[in-house]
Chain A
Amino acid sequence: MKKFFAKLYIWVLLVILYAPLVFIAVFSFTESKVLGSWEGFSTTLYHNLLTGQMQGNASLLAAVKNTVLIALAAAFISTLLGTVAAIGIHNLKGRRKKAVTLLNNIPMINPDIITGVSLFLLFVFLHFSQGYLTVILAHITFCTPYVVLSVMPKLQQMNPNIYEAALDLGATPSQALRKVLVPELKPGMVSGFILAFTMSLDDFAVTFFTRGTIGLDTLSTYIYTDARKGGLTPELRPLMTLIFLIILILLVIINVRQDRINKQTVQR
């Protein structure tokens, strides 16, 4: 009985959580301009989206491209910067370690809007013209702390002697780095990268304040402008449905892989 109510509670929450997504997905199969009015089954929106034939809305595809490129760049650089930083912080001691850890926490505690406004003021102050570069820099700022936090536990779990052993056995420091340290840290780096990538994809406020006036749009700012004008581009519906499906498939793959890794470690 207890189990029944527990399951019911979880399922009710999940149904509410997924209702808007299902709503979008269902109405991606009708041609109507407005979300919520049904004008018969049609796959026209999918066709328009995939062939890029949208009346005056080609900028949606540009926004998608920008979003992905910015997220890839930000995730890649913050993974590099964060991993190197984590190795450094791991080897710091006492008050210095505390100070750097505290600094690393600030971007995570700050709400998006503070990060956005403060970086906006920085770029204004430095007379730095805002565009792709400033958005990527801003994204690196709020992504890197999460990479550091993902890599740190791997450093703590690692036996420091194996790196020394590689050196003793004749490896150069760069060989020891590539063949010993990086493989040990890789799981942390991968989860840091994924985290950074998804945070960048979903960001709205920071991008909004750092994109400048050159007309740079990511998916978030595009949706915002679109909604303020009244009426969303209908092709957003199939786009969101496709994104959701891709993520669902990716997560299933990751989970199956994780399960396999867990089983392997148990066997070891």
Chain B
Amino acid sequence: MSKRSNWSIPYVIFLVLFVVLPLVLVLVYAFQDNQGRFTFGNIAKFFSDRDALSTFAVSLEVALENTVLCILIGYPAAWILSNRKLNRSAVTIVLFILPMWINALMRTLATAQLFTMLGVTLGKGTLLFGMVYDYLPFMIYPIYNVLAKMDKSYAEAAVDLGATPWTAFWKVTVPLSMPGVASGILMVFMPTVSTFAISEFLTNNKIKLFGTIIQENINSSMWNYGAALAFIMLVIIGITSLFNKDKEAEGSLL
């Protein structure tokens, strides 16, 4: 049976070639000028580039607001869906995932068009609405998974011992469901920062998010600066994933 472990070798080679090496290349390109010489210039350029900095700040703000909204709207939904007394059919949860199978760009464009038809001006408000719309299932699903698997007897025990249902919910159910919330945050926050295309469609090109700046630089052959911007994002991902040590919970989407 020991030889079986060798079966992981092809995949490890694949991961090194297509995951590790590309990330190393991001690092290399980020610290090189277009002649291939080592430089901090690209990173310095970002910190003196007003446009990039303000886009970065806007992206973090939108991502934060989106994440908070997704938790506020998604948590009650996940709780209701996981509660056997309130929801008996498994079909309802499928209904929440179903729209994700339709092309996200198409859904976004339709949302924007729907707003225009209703006479709503495209801007920050519609951007947030569209972001919540796109990412809500990613928040609901991991929370739902944790809540559905949770042993209900803890909360019942708290009530038996004299807690009100409300206290039992806040002191028992919510803390126990935090791994679900954490993986939800991971699936919403960084993807929002890095979104490109969607934000332009939802705001009629008024608001750009960080992903767009990376894309613009890469597409106009400014690879080194684009790589430096990607590197800055990788640093933030590193920081946010430190807050999320429960790696097992990530697989909880589906």
Chain B associates with chain A: yes
Chain A residues near B (Cβ < 8 Å): 2-3, 6-7, 9-10, 13-14, 16-21, 23-24, 35-36, 81-82, 84-85, 87-93, 96, 100-114, 117-122, 124-125, 137-138, 140-141, 144, 146, 148-150, 160, 164, 191, 195, 198, 201-202, 204-205, 208-209, 219-220, 223-224, 227, 232, 236, 240, 243-244, 247-248, 251, 255
**Do B250 and A255 touch across chains, with their CB atoms under 8 A apart?**
no
In the complex, whether B152 has a CB less than 8 A from a CB of chain A is no
Question: In the complex, how many residue pairs between chain A and chain B have their CB atoms under 8 Å apart?
Answer: 228
**Cα(A57)–Cα(B109), bound, Å:** 19
**Cα(A18)–Cα(B102), bound, Å:** 11
Complex interface: chain A residues within 8 A of B153 (CB): none
A104 in contact with B254 given A10-B92, A114-B233, A247-B98 (CB within 8 Å):
no
> Which positions 1-56 of chain B face chain A at CB distance < 8 Å?
1-2, 4-12, 14-16, 18-23, 25-26, 29
Kindly provide the distance from the CB of A11 to the nearest chain B CB, expressed in whole angstroms: 9
Complex interface: chain B residues within 8 A of A81 (CB): 10-11, 14
**Cα(A138)–Cα(B17), bound, Å:** 11
Kindly provide the distance from the CB of A222 to the nearest chain B CB, expressed in whole angstroms: 9
Residues 65-103 of B, flagged 1 when their CB comes within 8 A of A and 0 if not, give: 000000001001100110101110011101110111111
User: Given A119-B22, A202-B104, A227-B109, list of 13 further CB < 8 A pairs?
Assistant: A7-B86, A23-B110, A23-B113, A24-B106, A84-B7, A87-B7, A88-B11, A105-B247, A118-B22, A121-B25, A121-B223, A125-B25, A140-B14
Interface pairs A-B: 8 shortest CB-CB: A88-B8, A88-B7, A85-B11, A118-B22, A20-B110, A111-B194, A149-B251, A91-B4
**Do B218 and A21 touch across chains, with their CB atoms under 8 A apart?**
no
Closest to A164 in B: B1
**Cα(A108)–Cα(B109), bound, Å:** 26
Residues of B in contact (CB 8 Å), total 81
**Do B186 and A109 touch across chains, with their CB atoms under 8 A apart?**
yes
**Do A204 and B105 touch across chains, with their CB atoms under 8 A apart?**
yes
Partner of B9, one of A14, A19, A88, A140: A88
> Which positions 101-131 of chain B face chain A at CB distance < 8 Å?
101-107, 109-111, 113-114, 116-117
Complex interface: chain B residues within 8 A of A247 (CB): 98, 101-102
Show 30 A/B contacts (Cβ-Cβ < 8 Å), sorted by A. A6-B83, A6-B86, A6-B87, A14-B95, A17-B96, A17-B99, A19-B114, A23-B110, A24-B110, A36-B114, A82-B11, A85-B10, A87-B7, A91-B4, A101-B247, A103-B16, A103-B19, A108-B250, A110-B237, A112-B191, A118-B25, A119-B18, A121-B29, A122-B18, A141-B19, A148-B11, A204-B104, A227-B201, A236-B106, A248-B98
Kindly provide the distance from the CB of A237 to the nearest chain B CB, expressed in whole angstroms: 9
A220 in contact with B103 given A101-B247, A113-B211 (CB within 8 Å):
yes
Partner of B6, one of A88, A106, A149: A88
